[in-house]
């Protein structure tokens, strides 16, 4: 069988599809698996051994459709489920499955604060899409494959960090998903061990500001490394602290101890760090800690985020307890160093 998997974006969402790719290929070795995504996210999948061919979305959708028609697929697995993927499925005229986006439940949760969402990762909802193919969850969690040329070493980081460090992912797709600079500065000031800040070029200026509290202890790596190199930095870190963003899921794929920070979004939406079978209530993973402000009635205010707090107070992030974050981080650091 020749199968096309579709997920256009973004970093975290694509990494969250990797268990489906692996389970499909391992449990049905005869299947030919193709994956369609945007060119800007190709690096996330190009090293994935379970993908037989990686296809990139053209600026003109019709060009992509014409190219896909030449492949003669037997099945389309739509893990994006939007207008463009619907157009592709209609044009290919083959059997298809699409994952349930639960938009009504999300609307009720963000607008009326009534939560009917299941206590499961979006990964498990993705897996439900292929259930009829007799594909089951193997419990191995997410995948991320770092190419050898992206492997970082001591020469890539300050000598002060050679004996061990944590990584703090300060970036985020929306401002309301990012811990404020002053909060990071407070944490970096009280945390006793070396810290590497991670993010894209757009986060470099904020990283510099955070690092001013102690330029020896805090190394700003934002914008200095590729995604694969940032993954390598996290791989060698004792622990990772991250906003709700793509690098959080990459760190989870690398099986790193994690403290995730939540602002206007909440883990209940299914995007929490996923290690294989864990959820938020019955099967809490010991390597995953969550820090959020549960006292606010306005959370979650969006399933994605905003550039400014709609209430203009941003208490969801401003009131996170950095002393508590420090305590949790030291606990995970100590566990990591006992191994």
pLDDT digits (tens, 9 = 90+) for 72-117: 999 999 999 999 999 999 999 999 999 999 999 999 999 999 999 9
pLDDT at 106: 96
pLDDT digits (tens, 9 = 90+) for 225-266: 999 999 999 999 999 999 999 999 999 999 999 999 999 999
Question: Mean pLDDT, to the nearest integer, of 321-325?
Answer: 98
Question: Taking all residues of the chain, what is their mean pLDDT, rounded to a whole number?
Answer: 97
- Structural domains present in the chain: 2-133 (3.40.50.2000), 148-338 (3.40.50.2000)
Question: Mean pLDDT, to the nearest integer, of 41-65?
Answer: 98
pLDDT at 33: 98
- pTM (2 d.p.): 0.97
Are residues 105 and 35 in contact, defined by beta-carbon separation less than 8 angstroms? Answer: no
> How far is residue 228's CA from residue 148's CA, in Å, rounded to a whole number?
10
Q: Cis link prior to 79 (omega < 30° from 0)?
A: no
Three-state SS across the chain?
A: CEEEEECCCCHHHHHCCHHHHHHHHHHCCCCEEEEEECHHHHHHCCCCCCCCEEEECCCCHHHHHHHHHCCCCCEEEECCCCHHHHHHHHHHCCEEEECCCCHHHHHHHHHHCCCCCCCCCHHHHHHHHCHHHCCCCCCCCCCCCCCHHHCCCHHHCCHHHCCCCEEEECCCCCHHHCCCHHHHHHHHHHCCCCEEEECCHHHHHHHHHHHCCCCCCEEECCCCCCHHHHHHHHHHCCCEEEECCHHHHHHHHCCCCEEEEECCCCHHHCCCCCCCCCCCCCCCCCCEEEEECCCCCCCCCCCCCCCCCCCCCCHHHHCCCHHHHHHHHHHHHHHHHHC
pLDDT at 161: 98
Compute the CA torsion angle 40, 46, 48, 52 (nearest 10 deg): 110
pLDDT digits (tens, 9 = 90+) for 146-180: 999 999 999 999 999 999 999 999 999 899 999 99
pLDDT at 339: 63
**Which residue is listed with tokens 């994935």?**
48
pLDDT at 163: 96
Name the pLDDT band for 337 (thresholds 50, 70, 90). confident
pLDDT at 338: 82
Q: Percent of the chain, pLDDT > 90?
A: 98
Structure tokens at 133: 């193919």
């Amino acid at each position: 069988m020749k199968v096309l998997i579709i997920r256009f974006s973004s970093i975290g969402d694509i990494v969250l599809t990797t268990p489906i790719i692996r389970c499909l290929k391992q449990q049905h070795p005869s299947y030919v698996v193709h994956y369609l995504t945007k060119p800007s996210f190709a690096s996330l999948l190009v090293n994935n051994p379970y993908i037989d061919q990686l296809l990139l979305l053209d600026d003109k959708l019709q060009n992509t459709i014409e190219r896909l028609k030449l492949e003669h697929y037997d099945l389309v697995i739509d893990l994006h489920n939007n207008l463009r993927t619907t157009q592709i499925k209609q044009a290919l005229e083959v059997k298809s499955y699409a994952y349930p986006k639960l938009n009504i439940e999300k609307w009720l949760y963000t607008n009326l604060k009534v939560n009917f969402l299941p206590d499961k990762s979006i990964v498990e909802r993705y897996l439900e899409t292929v259930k009829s193919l007799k594909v089951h969850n193997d419990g191995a969690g997410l995948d991320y494959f770092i190419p050898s040329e992206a492997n970082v070493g001591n020469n890539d980081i300050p000598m002060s960090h050679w004996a061990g460090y944590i990584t703090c992912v300060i970036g985020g797709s929306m401002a309301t998903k990012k811990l404020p600079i002053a909060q990071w500065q407070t944490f970096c000031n009280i945390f006793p061990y070396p810290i590497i800040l991670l993010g894209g070029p757009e986060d470099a200026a904020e990283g510099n500001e955070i690092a001013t509290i102690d330029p020896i202890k805090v190394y700003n790596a934002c914008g200095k490394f590729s995604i694969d190199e940032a993954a390598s930095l996290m791989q060698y870190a004792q622990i990772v602290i991250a906003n709700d963003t793509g690098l959080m899921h990459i760190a989870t794929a690398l099986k790193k101890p994690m403290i995730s920070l939540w602002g206007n979004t909440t883990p209940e939406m299914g995007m929490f760090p996923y290690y294989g079978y864990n959820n938020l209530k019955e099967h809490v993973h010991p390597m995953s800690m969550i820090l959020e402000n549960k006292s606010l009635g306005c959370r979650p205010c969006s399933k994605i985020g905003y550039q400014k707090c709609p209430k203009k107070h941003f208490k969801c992030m401003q009131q996170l307890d950095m002393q508590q974050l420090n305590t949790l981080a030291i606990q995970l650091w100590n566990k990591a160093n006992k191994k």
